[in-house]
């Protein structure tokens, strides 16, 4: 497909002519990619419901409730700090050796680190486990690169609309697992009451479920995922003992009687571009304005989102008199799970059509603006609950907060589309995603610890009760300012 005149939105990601129909997605490989993405939100979100109680149990706060939020945020931030040190390295490697080996390495690291986290009984053990998790986790940017490589300009927006299925499913199932399976000896005494192991390691069962899922994802990747970097497909299959002659031509997705092969060989796709001679560019050549703008917006959005996600469960768990809502881990897990389900369904059924109608820029701007009322619901919840208890009004406000969170999350698919369009050439797509993910990892290393520290300061000193909300709103304002740099029409992709 030639890159002709740009339609209102993009040459890369929408049909060049309105009459051109969307190409069918290569569902077999696409569904595998969605399945693999479950591993990361499962491992990251499973600890959210029980993290405050875990910090209390290991005794590092010496009973000081105001310090719980600080250590919870620090634990989250360490993951992203170590990820920031390695994510660009993994993404650039994937441009040269292929996506598949990097994904396998990341899944292995996720599994080992979660088993270790469940067996940790000291804060230093928790820190080391989370650091291992982050350092071995380069899959986010690599999987986004694969998403572009198995699609074309007509169906990439549709593909990105499905991405929240994995993240939202993991974001829903993870908290349910964490809330339901933590401290099983207390919650299920008939089954685990006599198990000394479960009493000694009360959070192991909750951590073992996503760890085991990561092993299953590793097996699925090894057996069924097809490589999308053409210069390495044959090498990878030869390592598995397959014949060079049988697999000499790289494909971008499964070719079945029910799927059109047009989507696998479109002229503007990364695979074809690579085959025509496009080579990965050096890092310095990737630091151009459009890459920096796209990566900067991704970082600003992620900083706001991770800061709010870190404060939200701590707010729910903090006693009412200290400024929170006083909920237990199972109830917190249920709230986060409901949000995950609603978010996934909304994005799947509405994002592609909204994107076709309004475009990336308008949706992104509206999503960022929705974050301000989302943040203001936190102090309103505490104020209402102090007067009415956990009344119907409180749950209605929680529902409003979740709805606004869903709107905020529409911004992710938009910024992913901007990043894909910003890559100078298709062979550098992995490195471009790596640069964007590096920035995100850096701000996510700052976000949880800074936000939960602000929350701890808020509940420690009544005169500073709103400081955490001022901080979160300032992050929104920064994100809105950065979004002004995004163009209404996406950048053209050069081969």
> Terminal CA-to-CA distance of the chain, rounded, Å?
13
Query: What average pLDDT does this structure show over 143-158?
Result: 79
Share of the chain above pLDDT 70, in %: 84
Q: Tell me how far apart the alpha carbons of residues 147 and 103 are, in angstroms, rounded to a whole number.
A: 13
As a whole number of angstroms, the distance between CA 420 and CA 397 comes to 36
Per the listing, tokens 């304005």 go with 289
DSSP, collapsed to helix, strand or coil, labels residue 469 as: helix
What's the CA gap between 300 and 278, in Å, rounded?
A: 31
Contacts of 358 (CB under 8 A, 6+ apart): none
Residue 344: in which H helix or E strand, if any? helix 329-346
> pLDDT class for 82, splitting at 50, 70, 90?
confident
Residue that has been written with the tokens 């929104």 in this structure: 476
- Rounded to whole angstroms, the Cα distance separating 22 from 43 reads 34
CA-nearest of 302, 304, 310 to 72 is: 310
Rounded to the nearest 5 percent, the helix, strand and coil shares of the chain are: 75, 0, 25
Q: Is the pLDDT confidence value at 272 over 70?
A: no
Contact 61, 67 (CB under 8 A): yes
Does residue 234 have a pLDDT over 70?
no
Taking the C-alpha atoms of residue 365 and residue 19, their distance in angstroms, rounded to an integer, is 28
Is the Cβ–Cβ distance between 125 and 116 less than 8 Å? yes
Model confidence at 495, in pLDDT bands (50, 70, 90)?
very low
DSSP annotation of 463 reads: G
What confidence score (pLDDT) does residue 375 get?
94
**What is the dihedral angle through the alpha carbons of 185, 188, 192, 198, rounded to the nearest 10 degrees?**
-30
User: Does 304 have pLDDT greater than 60?
Assistant: yes
Q: What are phi and psi of 428, to 5 degrees?
A: -100, 15
- Per-residue confidence band for 246, with pLDDT thresholds at 50, 70 and 90: very low
- pLDDT digit string (tens) for 200-225? 999 999 999 999 999 999 999 999 99
In this prediction, residue 258 has a pLDDT band, given cuts at 50, 70 and 90, of very low
- Residue 8 CB partners (closer than 8 Å, separation 6+): 359, 488, 489
Q: Average pLDDT, whole number, for the chain?
A: 79
Is 50 exceeded by the pLDDT of residue 190? yes
Contact (CB, 8 A) for 49 and 206: no
Band (5; pLDDT cuts 50, 70, 90):
very low
Q: Which residues of 328-345 are buried (b: 16+ CB within 10 A; e: fewer)?
A: ebbbbbbbbbbbbebbbe
Instruction: Give residue-wise pLDDT tens across range 112-131.
Output: 999 999 999 898 899 899 88
**DSSP states of 188-216:** -HHHHTT-HHHHHSTTHHHHHHHHHHHHH
Interatomic CA distance for residues 485 and 280, integer angstroms: 26
More confidently predicted of 162 and 198:
198
pLDDT for residue 432: 83
Nearest to 301 by CA among 127, 469, 138, 447: 447
**Is 4's pLDDT higher than 80?**
no
- Name the helix (H) or strand (E) containing 395: helix 392-422
Average pLDDT over residues 438-463: 82
Tokens of 84: 């920031």
Q: What is the mean pLDDT of residues 40-59?
A: 84
CA 346 to CA 352: how far, in whole Å? 10
Stretch among 73-87, 111-125, 212-226, 241-255 having the lowest mean pLDDT: 241-255
pLDDT at 420: 82
pLDDT recorded at residue 481: 94
- For the chain, the maximum distance between any two Cα atoms, rounded to a whole number of angstroms, is 74
Contact 166, 34 (CB under 8 A): yes
The structure tokens listed for 26 are 């290569």
Reading the block at residue 315, the tokens are 């707010």
Residue 231 confidence class, pLDDT cut points 50, 70, 90: low
Q: Which two tokens stand for residue 467?
A: 């400081």
The predicted pLDDT at position 254 comes to: 38
pLDDT of residue 208: 94
* Distances, alpha carbon 174 to alpha carbons 133, 235, 346, 469, in Å: 16, 36, 19, 26
Question: What 8-state DSSP symbol labels residue 322?
Answer: G
Confidence of residue 493 (pLDDT cuts 50, 70, 90): low
pLDDT score recorded for residue 232: 43
pLDDT of 109 higher than 70:
yes
Are 458 and 173 in contact by the 8 Å Cβ rule? The answer is no
């Amino acid at each position: 497909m030639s890159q002709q005149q740009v339609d209102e939105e993009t040459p890369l990601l929408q049909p060049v002519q309105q009459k051109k129909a969307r190409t069918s997605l290569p569902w077999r490989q696409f569904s595998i990619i969605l399945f693999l993405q479950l591993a990361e939100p499962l491992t990251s979100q499973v600890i959210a419901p029980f993290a405050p109680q875990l910090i209390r149990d290991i005794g590092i706060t010496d009973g000081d409730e105001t310090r719980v939020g600080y250590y919870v945020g620090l634990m989250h931030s360490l993951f992203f700090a170590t990820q920031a040190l390695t994510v660009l390295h993994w993404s650039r490697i994937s441009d040269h050796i292929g996506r598949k080996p990097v994904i396998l390495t990341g899944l292995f690291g996720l599994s080992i680190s979660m088993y270790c986290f469940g067996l940790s009984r000291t804060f230093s053990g928790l820190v080391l486990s989370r650091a291992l998790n982050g350092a071995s986790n380069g899959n986010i940017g690599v999987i986004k690169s694969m998403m572009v490589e198995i699609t074309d300009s007509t169906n990439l927006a549709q593909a990105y609309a499905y991405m929240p299925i994995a993240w939202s499913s993991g974001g829903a199932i993870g908290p349910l697992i964490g809330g339901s399976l933590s401290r099983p000896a207390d919650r299920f005494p008939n089954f685990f009451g006599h198990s000394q192991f479960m009493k000694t390691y009360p959070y192991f069962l909750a951590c073992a479920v996503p760890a085991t899922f990561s092993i299953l994802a590793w097996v699925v990747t090894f057996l069924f995922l097809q490589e999308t970097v053409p210069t390495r497909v044959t090498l990878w299959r030869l390592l598995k003992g397959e014949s060079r002659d049988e697999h000499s031509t790289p494909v971008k997705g499964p070719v079945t009687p029910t799927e059109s092969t047009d989507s696998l060989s479109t002229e503007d796709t990364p695979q074809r571009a690579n085959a025509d001679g496009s080579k990965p560019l050096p890092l310095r050549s990737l630091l151009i304005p459009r890459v920096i703008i796209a990566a900067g917006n991704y970082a600003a959005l992620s900083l706001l989102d991770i800061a709010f996600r870190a404060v939200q469960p701590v707010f729910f768990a903090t006693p009412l008199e200290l400024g929170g809502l006083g909920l237990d881990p199972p109830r917190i897990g249920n709230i986060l799970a409901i949000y995950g389900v609603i978010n996934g369904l909304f994005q799947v059924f509405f994002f592609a059509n909204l994107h076709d109608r309004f475009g990336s820029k308008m949706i992104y701007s509206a999503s960022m603006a929705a974050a301000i009322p989302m943040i203001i619901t936190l102090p309103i919840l505490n104020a209402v609950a102090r007067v009415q208890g956990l009344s119907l009004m409180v749950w209605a406000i929680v529902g409003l907060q979740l709805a606004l969170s869903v709107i905020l999350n529409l911004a992710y698919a938009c910024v992913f589309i901007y990043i894909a369009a910003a890559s100078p050439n298709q062979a550098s797509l992995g490195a471009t995603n790596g640069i964007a993910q590096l920035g995100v990892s850096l701000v996510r290393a700052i976000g949880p610890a800074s936000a939960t520290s602000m929350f701890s300061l808020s509940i420690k000193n009544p005169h500073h009760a709103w400081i955490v909300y001022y901080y979160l709103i300032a992050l929104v304002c920064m994100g809105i300012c950065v979004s002004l740099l995004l163009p209404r029409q996406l950048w053209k992709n050069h081969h």
